[in-house]
Chains A and B, each alone.
Chain A
Amino acid sequence: MHVPDGFLDVPTSIATGTMAAGFLALASYRARDELSMRGPALPGLTAAFIFAGQMVNFPVGVGTSGHLIGAALAAALVGPWIGTLVMSVVVIVQALVFADGGITALGTNLLLLAIIPVFVAYGVQRLVLRLARYRRPAVVPAAALAAFVSVPVSAFVFTGLYLLGGAIELPVGGLLASMVGWHLIIGIGEAVITAAVLGAVLAARPDLVRIARPLTAEESSQAAESPTRASNRSIVTVGLALSLIVGGGVSLLASANPDGLEYVAESLGFLDTAEESVAVASPLADYALFGESVIGASLAGVIGVVFTFAVTLAIAFALRSLSTRASSTV
């Protein structure tokens, strides 16, 4: 399910777009060695596989069928960086060739369907494999758990984005519960399908499954990459600064006629008279503290950027410490 145009407001869309572009640049940078060595045909074919694989209907019982989303599978098969590129390409083609997913929502869809789930899934896979001391039978359960977790995490981030840039104010708890609850069910389907498909690949060509490769070779190559860490950090810093400027600046422009802000303030005004204000728990309620001002509007944009960036950054750091610790134990 791809977010269409008009679902989230302009500042949120531009913030997620900037962030997605930054992460795609980072992924291309980190994948450059593999891309130059093995060429663009492999990730292209992998993207075609994910795209075609999403069309296959799996009978999941009670007369219904589900289909693969593929982020966790891509992370397990080709790793996080190429996996991100592959899933992003699928999302881009779906938006531009098939009009599935909005053009202003492209950044949002890239974050929700390509970047966040691939990294969450890869993080979970590595964590589980580490806990299982990299035993071969743990690979499929690790991928299944990763697939299960990655779906509701995306739903969680979507809820956050909706609270920041959605048009209709909803009770936070209810929205979160229904979004995450529903996606827990979808996550189960994704986990079962991912496990079955990955099991089939492992049975025939275990060498093609990235997370199941003997860890020695991969870890030593990662150790060799460590000098690039400093430059990566500066890329991240620049990306964050840019996102903040764009997120804040665009909201500032938008606040010349702050329809979203006016709307929130209006509904919060109404809420003050209501006996029980659910929105006090809402992060949106904080914006009202700053009044209907230019600062308030920019702050909304900046908070939007920081929120999504924090989520992705936390994952990135968890991954990094995980991989360095893993390399020291092996």
Chain B
Amino acid sequence: MERPSARETGAIPAHPKLLSLIVFALSVVGVSAGAWEALAVHAVIVFVVLGLARVPIGRILRGLTFALPFVVFAVVTPLVALGPRTEVLGVSVSSPAVDAALLMIAKIVIALLASIAFSATSSAQELLLAFDRLRMPSTLTAIVSFMIRYAVIVGDDVRRMRIARQSRGGQDHRVAHFRAIASSVGTLFIRSYERGERVHLAMLARAYDGVFPAAAGRSASAAEWAVALSPAVLALIVTVASHVLGS
């Protein structure tokens, strides 16, 4: 779960970065059809950020796989979309849909790269502090914090159960193993739930009274705010400018 925190951007607390990500993604999504220059600037911005943050290329590529189903969707849609038809490589496609599909793919990839830049430079712990700073409801933040804290442990449970299963019944790739896998997931729930009960009792024993002690997150300096928000503000200006100039 612990993310490799990259140096430059990683040093900044996560809450300005999270705000920056939201504004940047909205700017990308808000680009109107045909405003390719704006998206090109957005792409440059996100690559500069990824470069400065020294996000490993493997992590970027792995993150990009999340977009694959939707890129496939965008590639297929011109074949079935409405509108006048045109020929591309001998295949009849809807011509407005081709432009729209390309635009959609560009937006998805650029915004996803921004999300990758954020997640690669913010540890789960920093994210929780950011939730606190951004006044997320404390119950939700508390649940998120327990989930993040125990996801690794529960994930280890999954691995141990798989090893145990395989040592008894061989590789579990066959339908015959379905029931065994299902009961181990059922057991996983029981173990997790009981662990949750024990954790809560332990907290009560340590004088937990429904309020979490204030998290020790530090505030961001004005310079850090400026650095974190600069990509987003730039992207927003570009999008707004493209709307103004385009109309």
Question: Which A residues form the contact surface with B (CB < 8 A)?
Answer: 1-10, 13, 24-25, 28, 31-32, 35-36, 38-49, 51-53, 55-56, 58-61, 65, 68, 77, 85-86, 88-90, 92-93, 95-104, 167-171, 174, 192-193, 196-201, 203-205, 208, 254, 256-257, 259, 262-263, 266-267, 270-271, 274, 278-279
B interface SS class: helix
How many whole Å from A89's CB to the nearest CB in chain B?
Answer: 5
Cross-chain contact B100 with A96 (CB below 8 angstroms): no
A28 contacts which of B74, B137, B144, B184 (Cβ < 8 Å)?
B137
Cα–Cα distance between A38 and B33 once the two chains are bound (Å): 51
**B227 at the A interface (CB under 8 A):** no
Cross-chain contact A40 with B146 (CB below 8 angstroms): yes
Chain B residues near A169 (CB-CB < 8 A): 81-83, 96-97
A interface SS class: helix
Known A39-B200, A92-B144: A101·B66 in contact at CB below 8 Å = yes
Chain A residues near B115 (CB-CB < 8 A): 5, 95, 99, 102-103
Cross-chain contact A93 with B185 (CB below 8 angstroms): no
Chain A residues near B80 (CB-CB < 8 A): 170-171, 174
Contacts beyond the supplied A40-B146, A52-B154, A196-B183: 6 A-B pairs with Cβ under 8 Å: A1-B69, A6-B110, A103-B22, A167-B104, A170-B80, A200-B184
Which chain A residue shows the least CB distance to B142?
A40
Cα–Cα distance between A198 and B183 once the two chains are bound (Å): 9
Which chain A residue shows the least CB distance to B95?
A270
CB 8 Å contact bits of B181-223 with A (1 = contact, 0 = none): 1111111111011011101100110001010000000000000
Chain B residues near A167 (CB-CB < 8 A): 33, 100-101, 103-104
Cross-chain contact A58 with B243 (CB below 8 angstroms): no
Cross-chain contact A104 with B25 (CB below 8 angstroms): yes
Cα–Cα distance between A271 and B192 once the two chains are bound (Å): 56
How many whole Å from B75's CB to the nearest CB in chain A?
Answer: 11
For chain B, the count of residues having a C-beta within 8 Å of the partner chain is 96
Cross-chain contact B199 with A41 (CB below 8 angstroms): yes
Which chain B residue shows the least CB distance to A98?
B119
Cα–Cα distance between A93 and B151 once the two chains are bound (Å): 11
Chain A residues near B7 (CB-CB < 8 A): none
Chain A residues near B154 (CB-CB < 8 A): 45, 48-49, 51-52
Cα–Cα distance between A89 and B142 once the two chains are bound (Å): 10
Cross-chain contact A59 with B111 (CB below 8 angstroms): no
Interface residues of B in 79-111 (CB under 8 A from A): 80-84, 96-97, 100-101, 103-104, 106-108, 110-111
Cross-chain contact A52 with B208 (CB below 8 angstroms): no
Cross-chain contact A38 with B200 (CB below 8 angstroms): yes
Known A104-B111, A263-B33, A263-B100: A257·B146 in contact at CB below 8 Å = no
**B233 at the A interface (CB under 8 A):** no
**B124 at the A interface (CB under 8 A):** yes
Cross-chain contact A4 with B66 (CB below 8 angstroms): yes
22 inter-chain pairs at a CB distance below 8 angstroms, sorted by A residue, are A1-B69, A5-B29, A7-B104, A41-B200, A46-B192, A51-B147, A60-B178, A85-B139, A89-B143, A95-B115, A96-B119, A98-B63, A103-B21, A104-B111, A168-B104, A170-B82, A196-B186, A197-B182, A200-B183, A256-B243, A257-B246, A267-B83
